[in-house]
Amino acid sequence: MKNKTYSIFGAGASGLYTAWRLLNGEPDSKQGEEKRLLAGDTLELYDWGKYDFTKENPGTRAAGARVCTWHYNNDSSQAYLELGGMRYSAWNGQPGAQNPGHRLVTTVINKLDLDKYSVPFNVSANTLFYLRTKNMYLNDISSSNPAPYNVDNYGATTSPDTGFSTIESLAVDPDASPKTRAEWCEFYQNGAINVELPESSVFQKGDKLKNIGYWNLLFDQLGSEGFQYTADGNGYTSNIINWNAAVAIQANDEFTPGSQYKTLTKGYSSLFNALFSAIVQLANQKGIIFDYQPDTRLHSILDQNGKVHFSLATREHPDKKAALKVSDAAWLAMPPYALELVAQATRYADVEGLDVLNHERVQNYLSSAIMQPSYKIGMFFDTPWWINDPNNKNNPVYQAPILAWEITMVVLEALAKKGFPLRYIEKINNCNTILNTPYASSAALIEAVVQCINERLTIEQEKELLAASQRNTIGPSITDTPIRQVVYFGNNALDRDAKPVYGILASYDDEQFTSFWEELEYGNNDAEKVPFSENYQPLIGPRKATAVMVKMLRQQLAALHFGPQADYSIIPEPLECRYMDWSLPPFNAGYHAYAAHYDVCDVQQKIRKPSQLISNADANIFIVGEAYSNDQAWVEGAFCTAESVLNDFFGVLPIIDDENYPFICPCGR
């Protein structure tokens, strides 16, 4: 039997997951057995960038494509910030359809033995806002202290997220709302406005939401001021653009009771380091040739007589064809912008074979994903100036409401090293109600521990426990200024004995706000030296912020935490400040959203093997990633599209029971 070659283009979440599952997946049939990689077969992994995977495969930046962990001084033992994707929704392992959580990410973390590094990603219950020069906390918004917006029906006396609830109520009955992935998929296809609206409304009862732009609907129903309050106060401009209203309702409903968000104490990029190491190990064990080629991009791709013919280009000359190769199957694990670059190479040429990407129906479905640019700027300080702290030169007038105490496995390990009684540690470890549960006050944590161990702690033991478990994270605080959201990572260094350094995501913004910061990437006397299309900063890694960018950040942070009249100088100079501009190539987006007027279920089913859209065609070219998934903007989406391709086209048994958790929308199947 002739040896097989499988080729994956993209070493981000979907590319690594595909490689891992091709090596560890079990076949579900004879056909699956025939497509399985065996000893002597080749698995190729190409990537335009060069991620820092292992000592043997170092790179220019942390692994993960649009996940990018950045440590202070690039020292993995120091505090870190996430300048890309930050978290996942933890799954409790129960198979019921209504159990929340990202099941594939949770499963991968478990199988890679990363559970011990998994900790809650806490979200504040009392958000600090700075809107229209007014500082206020969520819990203080009321009829006597409204937000500074002239919203109809007293809308400014409640949370800005009330606008999302108002829109959802037009189509979702609280007593019969979608609860499962399959039910939401049905909603994407058939969800409609089901209440009578006045004649003055642009949209009326019976109108299908998939054919309505979300911005249009928000503006029509909330009015100018109501829309602006919702837009400013939710923090994500990407949430209120003119995308598919049916999908938007579900996405803005994501923070539901029962959801617990988590991250990894070593940084979210560590998930992809572990995946890469597992791929190398599995390939060696099975005698499969694993050929990893960084600094190499897919230039063009065609199907010729059942084989995939493709050309490659180097990172140094990404527009010039450098090599021609043939494969039995190819996975395009890349975002829409990168796919468009590949399609352009053959769009206006006479070619032999099937040009899948340039077929009209394929191009139409590729257009269903809206690119949403985002921008993240991280800063490290020697004091946590955003909360009251004895080491601060100036304590904030409006401190971040993020102080909490939480016992995790890392905390228990730290306590053990300090000589905390082992019998207490064992008891706490067995108290499921305490472990990974945030407490809003130190007294509440102490009381819970005392109840668990059934003994009183000494004063010294209480101090040790509180010092180890205090978490000054995560936030966010929200503002209508260009920083938009501030996320507080604090001192999360693995080395708890080192001099503390405190990190914040000083700006987490998207859409039009990215251009505000782009102009500050240069000094006041600098000229543009590289065309936008050739600025590959996201592949290189976090870039040092200019002095003007730092000053602008300090100015807006001062207004958020000290009031609108505060001078920028009240915010200390950072120890280090770097940014990631996700609007730049080859990603050109931090995340994606479905456009209106598309059947997103059919898109998810067809675009993963685009030749399905072409009559009498069958090409082993596949598209995977979050952009065309049922979990856009999440690593889960990348994993789920990859898993669905392997299950449906390569006979690989699902990694988990998918009866109650369809990886992509089933479209009534």
Compute the C-alpha angle 583/589/592, nearest 5°: 155
Element (H, E) at 586: none
Residue 252 · residue 164 · CB < 8 Å: yes
What the block records as the tokens of 208 is: 């299908």
For the cut 70, the answer to whether the pLDDT of residue 669 exceeds it is no
- Indicate whether 266 belongs to any domain: no
Q: Are residues 534 and 412 in the same domain?
A: yes
Residue 222 · residue 155 · CB < 8 Å: yes
Q: Are residues 342 and 236 in the same domain?
A: no
Closest by CA position to 483, among listed 591, 374, 566, 590: 374
Q: Which of 558, 581, 604 is the last residue of a domain?
A: 581
For the cut 90, the answer to whether the pLDDT of residue 235 exceeds it is yes
Confidence of residue 473 (pLDDT cuts 50, 70, 90): low
Residue 99 · residue 659 · CB < 8 Å: no
CA 293 vs CA 11, 20, 52, 495: distances in Å: 10, 16, 13, 34
Q: Which of 231, 251, 271 is the last residue of a domain?
A: 251
Q: Are residues 340 and 389 in the same domain?
A: no
- Indicate whether 180 belongs to any domain: yes
**Range 358-375 average pLDDT:** 98
Tell me what pLDDT residue 441 has.
78
Q: Are residues 401 and 448 in the same domain?
A: yes
Residue 294 · residue 59 · CB < 8 Å: yes
- Indicate whether 224 belongs to any domain: yes
What the block records as the tokens of 486 is: 């501030």
DSSP tag of 546: P
Closest by CA position to 215, among listed 207, 206, 224: 224
Q: Are residues 144 and 156 in the same domain?
A: yes
Q: Are residues 566 and 433 in the same domain?
A: yes
- Indicate whether 58 belongs to any domain: no
- Indicate whether 445 belongs to any domain: yes
- Indicate whether 531 belongs to any domain: yes
User: CA-to-CA distance for 110 and 668, rounded, in angstroms?
Assistant: 31
What the block records as the tokens of 401 is: 């409401």
* Percent of the chain with pLDDT strictly greater than 70: 98
| φ/ψ bin of 64: left (φ > 0), alpha (ψ from -120 to 50), beta (otherwise) | left
Q: Tell me the residue range of the domain where 328 lies.
A: 5-51+295-373+592-649
Closest by CA position to 562, among listed 401, 398, 402, 400: 398
Rounded to the nearest 5 percent, the helix, strand and coil shares of the chain are 35, 20, 45
What is the largest distance, in Å, between two alpha-carbon atoms of the chain?
Answer: 81
What the block records as the tokens of 609 is: 């093997």
Residue 240 · residue 234 · CB < 8 Å: yes
Residue 474 · residue 124 · CB < 8 Å: yes
Token pair 């920028």 in the structure block, residue = 568
Closest by CA position to 14, among listed 537, 667, 644: 644
User: CA-to-CA distance for 384 and 504, rounded, in angstroms?
Assistant: 9
Confidence of residue 374 (pLDDT cuts 50, 70, 90): very high
Confidence of residue 472 (pLDDT cuts 50, 70, 90): low
Tell me what pLDDT residue 99 has.
87
Confidence of residue 257 (pLDDT cuts 50, 70, 90): very low
Q: Are residues 244 and 144 in the same domain?
A: yes
> Mean of the per-residue pLDDT values for the chain?
94
* Helices 635-649 and 103-111, packing angle to 10 deg: 90
User: CA-to-CA distance for 537 and 48, rounded, in angstroms?
Assistant: 12
Closest by CA position to 11, among listed 361, 292, 430: 292
- Indicate whether 125 belongs to any domain: no
Residue 107 · residue 92 · CB < 8 Å: no
Tell me what pLDDT residue 657 has.
95
- Indicate whether 103 belongs to any domain: no
Q: Is 293 exposed, middle or buried (0-12, 13-18, 19+ CB in 10 A)?
A: middle
CA 553, 558, 563, 566 torsion-angle sign = negative
What the block records as the tokens of 111 is: 């199988």
Q: Are residues 419 and 567 in the same domain?
A: yes
Q: Are residues 632 and 550 in the same domain?
A: no
Confidence of residue 255 (pLDDT cuts 50, 70, 90): very low
Q: Are residues 596 and 644 in the same domain?
A: yes
Tell me what pLDDT residue 497 has.
84
Please tell me whether the peptide bond between 574 and the residue prior to it is cis, using omega within 30 degrees of 0: no
Please tell me whether the peptide bond between 58 and the residue prior to it is cis, using omega within 30 degrees of 0: no
Residue 365 · residue 359 · CB < 8 Å: no
Contacts of 1 (CB under 8 A, 6+ apart): none
For the cut 80, the answer to whether the pLDDT of residue 210 exceeds it is yes
For the cut 80, the answer to whether the pLDDT of residue 125 exceeds it is no
- Domains held by the chain: number: 3
What the block records as the tokens of 275 is: 């995946």
Full-model pTM: 0.92
Residue 194 · residue 168 · CB < 8 Å: no
Closest by CA position to 137, among listed 401, 441, 508: 401
Tell me what pLDDT residue 258 has.
45
Highest-confidence segment of 28-37, 266-275, 440-449: 266-275
Residue range 69-104, pLDDT digits in tens: 999 999 999 999 999 999 999 998 999 998 889 999
Q: Which of 581, 608, 640 is the last residue of a domain?
A: 581
Confidence of residue 643 (pLDDT cuts 50, 70, 90): very high
What the block records as the tokens of 654 is: 């699902």
User: CA-to-CA distance for 229 and 237, rounded, in angstroms?
Assistant: 12
User: CA-to-CA distance for 347 and 138, rounded, in angstroms?
Assistant: 52
Tell me what pLDDT residue 435 has.
83
What the block records as the tokens of 163 is: 């606008």
Closest by CA position to 435, among listed 473, 454, 471, 407: 407
Q: Are residues 335 and 426 in the same domain?
A: no
Compute the C-alpha angle 479/482/488, nearest 5°: 55
Buried b (16+ CB within 10 A) or exposed e, 148-179: ebebeeebbebbbbbbbebbbebbbeeeeebe
User: CA-to-CA distance for 594 and 246, rounded, in angstroms?
Assistant: 10
Q: List, as one string, the DSSP characters of 484-504.
A: -EEEEEES--S-TTSPP-EEE
Buried b (16+ CB within 10 A) or exposed e, 107-128: bbbeebebeebbbbbbbbeebb
Residue 259 · residue 89 · CB < 8 Å: yes
Strand partners, 329: 6
For the cut 90, the answer to whether the pLDDT of residue 223 exceeds it is yes
Closest by CA position to 197, among listed 170, 230, 173: 170
Residue range 514-552, pLDDT digits in tens: 999 999 998 877 788 888 889 999 999 999 999 999 999
Cα-based torsion angle of the residue sequence 274, 278, 281, 286 in order, rounded to the nearest 10 degrees: -170
HSE-up of residue 605 (Cα within 13 Å, Cβ side): 14
Closest by CA position to 610, among listed 369, 371, 372, 360: 360
End-to-end CA distance of the chain: 36
Element (H, E) at 654: none
Q: Are residues 366 and 384 in the same domain?
A: no
User: CA-to-CA distance for 16 and 121, rounded, in angstroms?
Assistant: 24
| Helix ranges restricted to H, 59-180 | 103-111, 162-168
For the cut 70, the answer to whether the pLDDT of residue 13 exceeds it is yes
**Range 271-295 average pLDDT:** 98
User: CA-to-CA distance for 369 and 637, rounded, in angstroms?
Assistant: 13
